[in-house]
Each structure stands twice: as structure tokens, then as C-alpha cells.
Amino acid sequence: MVALVFKIVGIGGGIEGLVMESVKTLHEAFDSKVNYVTYGSVPNELFNPRRSQYRADMINLWLYNVFSNRLRSNEYLVAIIDVDAYVPGLNFVFGLATPPLKIASVYVPRLRFMATTEEGKVIERVRKEVMHEVGHLLGLEHCSNASCVMRFSNSIFDTDAKSWKYCIRCAEKLRSLGIKVSKEYVLS
């Protein structure tokens, strides 16, 4: 089995609890070592003032430039970022994985939608998004199983409807790649 290592980067104030829950989730799901660091802010030049959003694909490239020399060969970077983001062709993204760079980013503002007084709801949504983007980093595509965390989310309602676990088919694909997923993170 492949020994995975994750580096979680928290960018933005007031998200420490979300980041620590993500550290716990990845450690439990993959029996992996998870390192946590904070970083100041996303550069202003990645902000599109016409949209009032940041470019997620450019953020992942920026993360690569900042952290690539600090990543080991078996290490993946997941950034939890408190900015709203998009990629060309989409109104917004909850997260974005760039597998060749071994980098994923998760964007918190839209995951807070209609959950301002329910911190547990936001934690659950961030957990789902982290597991989804890590799935992409590890080689998974979107899944047709409505309960699988790899199901595409077009809205926050789609995110709420799915689980934070991989379906059996997705978990088996990860196992075939030498990646062990804890049974608590696989749908039964």
C-alpha cells in the first residue's frame, strides 16, 4: 500500500476549526500523516474585480509555486481557503484539484451558504469537499452514485445530499492503485 502524506494549508482567518477537522478527516480516511501550516493570503493579482472572485486554477498554480519545493514525492497539498473562486466556464467552484501538481484547493464561502448558525453543517460540507478533491488527486473521476462523495455538486444542495464517503466502486479503484481507505469512509 502507498503511504500517503498530506499537507493542509489554511489561508484566511477564522477557518482554523475547519482546517483541523480536515486534518482529522484525512488522517482517519487514509491512515496518513497530515501536516498543517497557515499562510497569509491569496495574492491580489489572482482576483477578478469584475466577478468579485478569485481564479481557482491560478490559485492552484500559485500554491504550486509557493509549496512545490516543500512537498515530498508521496505528499499532496490541500488548501482550505476563505475566498470565493471560479474557473472559466463556471459561475463558481467549491474546490478544484490539479492532479499533475498534486494540489487541491477548497473554497469556504459558498460552503457556508444557509448555514451561518450551523457550524456542524459547514464542517460536514468542507469534509465532503476535501474528500472529493483528494479523490481527484488520487485518480478518481466523478461518480454516478448519488451518495458517493465523488458525485459532482452543481449546488450546495447537491453537496448536502451526498455522503462524505466513497462508494464501494470508488474505494475499490483506490485500492487497485495501492491506496487503502478506512472502512469508516466507504459506503456500506
pTM higher than 0.85, yes or no?
yes
Catalytic residue among 21, 124, 129, 133: 133
At the topology level of CATH, where does 5-180 sit? Collagenase (Catalytic Domain) (3.40.390)
| Alpha carbons within 13 A on the beta-carbon side of 158 | 17
Question: Does the active-site annotation cover 133?
Answer: yes
CA distance 93 to 52: 14
| pLDDT, tens digit (0-9, with 9 covering 90-100), for 97-115 | 999 999 999 999 999 987 6
| pLDDT, tens digit (0-9, with 9 covering 90-100), for 129-153 | 999 999 999 999 999 999 999 999 9
Domain ranges of the chain: 5-180
